[in-house]
Structure 1
Amino acid sequence: MTAYKGRVVSGGRLQIPADVRKELGLADGDDVRLEVVDGELRVRSLKSALTRIRAMVREHVPPGVSLAKELIADRRAEAARD
């Protein structure tokens, strides 16, 4: 694990070193997910956060099941009842 030095500048902005931005795949204007865990700040690209969430959901969905198709079928069934 490599430690880097950043700096908090005016307005509470955090300067992230270029090497860290590159490693995280961040570019100017990218959205990030910030999380405070046990007094530490974790910064994750939004893409990385979504990838992690999708993997967590996949653990609970059987292979071959499409949640989108199930949702559409549920909505159609609901609409037919009304």
Structure 2
Amino acid sequence: MIQAIRRMVKIKSGGRIEIPASELNEGMDAEVIVLVQEPALTENQELPMQEAIARVQAMVRRHIPEGYSLSEELIRERRAESERE
């Protein structure tokens, strides 16, 4: 059975994340899933839809070179997959 424990933790200097032992069962093997959120995009903050979209686009753009189109890449992949069938 999967038991999920949801806790907000802070990342300390050097990238260290501490999970209190009280959160874990003794001798428990555990998988941990980490979701890193931008500080400006938290669940408790309400943004107008256009502003939220613009912020997400800016976050993605930091990882995608200018002029590169993710949608064109997806279309190329789908066409190549279709041709292989």
**TM-score with structure 1 setting the length:** 0.49
Please identify which structure carries the higher helix content: 1
Structure possessing the higher relative contact order (Cα contacts under 8 Å, 6 or more residues apart): 1
